[in-house]
Amino acid sequence: MQHLHQAIQRCPRVAVYGTLKRGHRNHHWLNGADMLGQDCLNEITLYDLGPYPGAKLTPSAGVIVEVYAIDAERLARLDELEDYLPLAPAEGVYDRTVLATQYGDAWCYIYNPTVEATQLIESGEW
């Protein structure tokens, strides 16, 4: 838990681009979090994985994200949902990294597996 508290002190925000956005099936995981607003991030590229998108840390024309203020408890729950493994980030489905948004630095979940056989989401919005 110490790791999570350090992480949240470093970055008390999360930028989401898929099923966690308003109107999508996993948004309830962010109930009670303050939405700070939308932004467009050029450091990531979205891919269509079927039931959800995955972002890779490669430049794009922009991906539309929602940025939320969060706490350590909510970050821990999001880590579970995204199969992020803090002690072995490369082994989970997602890793997370800090990206700059207009609302300050925010955690963003980055898809670990290959996206070779998936469709690029050129519009940047899923």
- Annotated catalytic residue 82: yes
3-class SS at 51? coil
* Beta bridge partners of residue 37, listed in sequence order: 67
DSSP code of residue 100: E
DSSP secondary structure string for all residues of 16-65: E-STTSTTSTTGGGGTTSEEEEEEEESS-EEEE-SSSEEEESS--S-EEE
Q: Which of 43, 80, 82, 125 is catalytic?
A: 82
Known catalytic residues? Answer: 82
